[in-house]
Structure 1
Amino acid sequence: MAVAVESDPTGAHAPRVVAKGRGAVAEQILRIAFDQGVKVRSDADLAEILAAVEVDSEIPLQALAAVAEILSYVYRAQGRMPPEPARHRSEIRP
């Protein structure tokens, strides 16, 4: 099982599933990730949760903490800072 997740560069939306599959499809997802230099993490439990998410759908609330941890690892490994989360209008101070 392989699941590809993409974060919103603006931080306005939750990360979303962009590809998923088993067997040959999973191998292709991993091959593309490695060829593109995308960091890959093995987590069978999280992959099973994310496999239930439709492609192009946002990550469900129960998986957000785990995905946030992975994305934080990826950003640090790439020497980048994660985007600031979008703030609700009432939280923005002049």
Structure 2
Amino acid sequence: MKKIEIYTKDYCTFCHRAKHLLIDKGVAFVEYEISEDSAKAVQMQQRARRRTVPQIFIDDQHIGGCDDLYALENSGKLDPILLDS
């Protein structure tokens, strides 16, 4: 499987939706909860060039947020991205 990273905040509904989609797909991911981790928040902003959560990366490729993840899923493009090369 690919390395999946997701930057989240506890209270974020979109973060929960994105994580549940990944869990439903049975993929492991690394979660960075940035509410109280300013270093990870800065890292996310530098990597994603965005300040909103969630921000999702698959093998260091920026996917975007929750809506972007679901757009990939609804278009049938998410599963091929998640498959091993």
TM-score normalised to the size of structure 2? 0.32
Larger of the two Rg values belongs to structure: 1
Q: Which has the higher contact order (CA 8 A, sep 6+)?
A: 2
Higher strand residue share: 2
